[in-house]
């Protein structure tokens, strides 16, 4: 659903009234402080923080695939058969040989992106939990 300009303005006004930006400022300063303590580039931590806030404003929640990958990584770490574990077996069984190859490649690409995102999150949220 596409949001109208009027809806976006109302959401922005609500954020201001509820102290969203003050909270963001405090969290950003804490993020910078944690980055200094951990020896991570403050600008890198700031870019990560800005992308998280932008996602929150857009109302984007983590997709189900990412959540599945995250759960697997938290419970078992990086495993050698990650693609096999993430494969939808019922769907995979319906595919032709070429479609199976494409599905596996796309799944692998999505997994690598999710893994990068997970590592980025872990890097910046290590000391914040």
Q: What pLDDT tens digit does each residue of the chain (129 aa) get?
A: 567 888 888 888 888 888 888 888 888 888 888 888 888 788 887 887 887 788 777 766 667 888 899 999 999 999 999 999 999 999 899 989 999 999 999 999 999 999 998 998 887 765 454
pLDDT of residue 111: 94
pTM higher than 0.75, yes or no? no
- Give the residue extent of every domain in the chain: 1-60, 62-129
Token couple for 20:
């969203």
Q: How far is CA 60 from CA 32, 56, 87, in A?
A: 24, 6, 24
> What is the CB-side half-sphere exposure of residue 82 using CA atoms within 13 A?
24
CA distance 66 to 111: 8
């Amino acid at each position: 659903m596409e949001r109208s300009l009027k809806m976006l303005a109302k959401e922005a006004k609500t954020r201001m009234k509820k102290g969203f930006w003050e909270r963001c400022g405090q969290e950003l300063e804490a993020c910078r402080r944690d980055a200094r303590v951990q020896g991570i580039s403050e600008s890198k931590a700031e870019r990560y923080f800005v992308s998280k806030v932008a996602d929150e404003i857009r109302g984007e929640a983590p997709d189900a695939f990412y959540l599945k990958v995250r759960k697997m990584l938290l419970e078992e770490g990086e495993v050698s058969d990650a693609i096999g574990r993430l494969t939808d077996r019922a769907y995979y069984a319906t595919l032709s040989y070429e479609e199976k190859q494409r599905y596996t490649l796309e799944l692998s690409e999505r997994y690598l992106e999710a893994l990068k995102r997970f590592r980025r999150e872990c890097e910046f949220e290590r000391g914040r939990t």
